[in-house]
Structure 1
Amino acid sequence: MLSGEGPLAARRTRGVPGAAHVVLVGAMGGPLGGDAYEVRAEAGPGARLRVGSVAATLALPGQSTPRSTYAVDLEAAGDGLLEWLPEPVVAVAGCDLAQHTRVTLAEGARLALREEQVLGRSGESPGRITSRLTVRLAGRPLLDQETCLGTGAPPGWDGPAGTAGRRALGQLLLVAPEFQEYEIGAHSLAPGVVLLPLDGPAVLVSALAPDALRLRRLLDEAAQALGRPGV
């Protein structure tokens, strides 16, 4: 079943053999301050679903209410594969976006999730973006992390222990049974890129970069190294 209303339209497209491929199309700019976006995607038993977007999401300030929300709920049944691969979210100057991605996976489900944030457009200060990712696998917590970055965020967000002045950050989370054999500990894949094995079995790759283009290249290289090209 495919449905959508309001500022986001869901469209089925071709290009992924053996899988349903859906792209999200923004019918208008935003989210603006005061908007509340919601996206839900589910892969049933043995199904493969890839969800992407046609363009970056621009979080914009509102005239009276600065805060906007973007809730994403993802679910995959046993032997199902869900790929959540949207384009970046850009925190435009003056915005205040709260983004929360919730993932629920059954035993034996597979996940490929890529999320990217860009702090401001070129030549401008960033707005504020609070991003949380929570993942449950077979009824138990796998990952729960939150970042708050940009103008108005707690002090130190752009310091050496934060983004170190870089404007783009992202993560790639892969959950699959074959990572049970992945015995290498946490380590750096490249400058600004760290791999962390999780007790999923799963692996989390986190990256910082000066811009969105370099960030995508770093995450693509990590996916290639982990045997998941095209993610």
Structure 2
Amino acid sequence: MDGMTGTGVRATARIVARDDGRGGTALPVLAGGGPLAVRRTRAGGTAARVMLVGAMGGPLGGDRFEVRAEVQRGARLEVGSAAATIALPGQAEGEAHYDVRLRVADGGELCWLPEPLISAAGSDLRVRTLVELEAAARLVLREEQVLGRVGERPGRLGSRLTLRIAGRTVLDQELACGPGAPGGWDGPAVLAGHRAVGQLVVARPEFRADPPEARPLGDAAALTPLAGPAVLVTALAADGLRLRRVLDEALTLLG
């Protein structure tokens, strides 16, 4: 349930996409409230397109946000956001949480392409993304994180991304940055002084027979095949604009 608690705001958004039987995609569930408003927008072809709209600031300290999206068999869903998400310090004590849960059935397709997450000075946010795909599902997922606004140090940011295909975990990675994170997070073995970090996950059934080859993508990005029919692109950049350019080029390369 959405609402205000003694330790921050709790908010949930839910999206369910299903084949409408007429060559398009219906949205029988499209619900959000408070800081997690959801809006259907015009889309071409057979896909439904949804925007996450930040109706309030945050997440702030103590807030707990959750977004759940389910794509049923034969449906196609594209999800973006109207603006960047900015993690900010708040009056409530404790870290903030932002959880994303995505499920895609066989024959379904999800493009999850939100704007970046910006970790502002003094914030403390934990982001958890769990993606569960059936064997013949299709996915494009982009995550971008920018450490601090212009001219400021970042807050504390912990993020974890888990991908399961047909019940098998093929990716489970975690990164912690900012004050209080394990030492060396900004050193040459991790971010190497870069202020923007991102990843692109692409899953397609055809990758099972013909997976893309591992390769570097410039000086600070790489494409890595995963154990399932999916690939991971990881990238570092000096800022969010350069990071987006790298990830867009990687998606074009994958076709």
TM-score normalized by structure 1?
A: 0.95
Aligned length: 227
Deviation at 1:81, TM superposition (A): 0.3
Contact 2:211 2:229 survives alignment (8 Å): no
Q: Pick one of 198, 209, 216 that aligns with 1:188.
A: 216
Please give the alpha-carbon distance, in whole angstroms, between the structure 2 residues aligned to 1:42 and 1:64.
32
Letter in 2 for 1:93: A
Structure 1 gap ranges (5+): none
Deviation at 1:216, TM superposition (A): 0.3
Partner of 1:216, secondary structure, is helix
Q: Distance in 2 between matches of 1:46 and 1:139?
A: 20
CA offset digits 1:155-182 (Å, max 9, x no partner) = 1000000111110010000000121244
From 165, 168, 179, the equivalent of 1:151 is 179
The match for 2:26 is none
Q: Does 1:46 align with 2:74?
A: yes
Query: Are 1:218 and 2:254 counterparts?
Result: no
Map 1:1-231 → 2, pairs under 5 A? 1-183=29-211, 185-227=213-255
Contact residue 125 and residue 151 of structure 1 kept, 8 A: no
Conserved 8 A contact 2:197-2:235: yes
Q: 1:15 deviation in Å?
A: 3.1
SS where residue 2 of structure 1 aligns? strand
Asked whether the equivalents of residues 34 and 67 of structure 1 are also in contact (C-alpha less than 8 Å), the reply is: yes
Deviation at 1:17, TM superposition (A): 2.3
Which 4+ residue blocks in structure 1 deviate beyond 3 angstroms?
181-185
1:25-45 per-position Cα deviation (integer Å, ceiling 9, x unaligned):
001110000100000011100
Mapped contact 2:104–2:134 kept (Cα < 8 A): yes
The runs of 5 or more residues in structure 2 that have no matched partner are 1-28
Aligned partners of 1:218, 1:181: CA distance in 2, in Å? 26
Question: Is the partner of 2:184 in helix, strand or coil?
Answer: coil
Tell me which amino acid in the other structure corresponds to 1:6: G
Q: Distance in 2 between matches of 1:59 and 1:183?
A: 36
Identity of aligned residues (%): 61
**Distance between the aligned counterparts of 1:44 and 1:86, measured in 2?**
21
TM, length-normalised to structure 2: 0.87
Cα RMSD, aligned residues only: 1.1
Q: What displacement does 1:62 show?
A: 1.5
Q: Which has the larger radius of gyration?
A: 2
C-alpha contact 1:61 1:67 (8 A) present in aligned 2: no
SS of alignment partner, residue 38 of structure 1: strand
Aligned match of 2:17: none
Question: Cα offset for 1:66?
Answer: 4.1
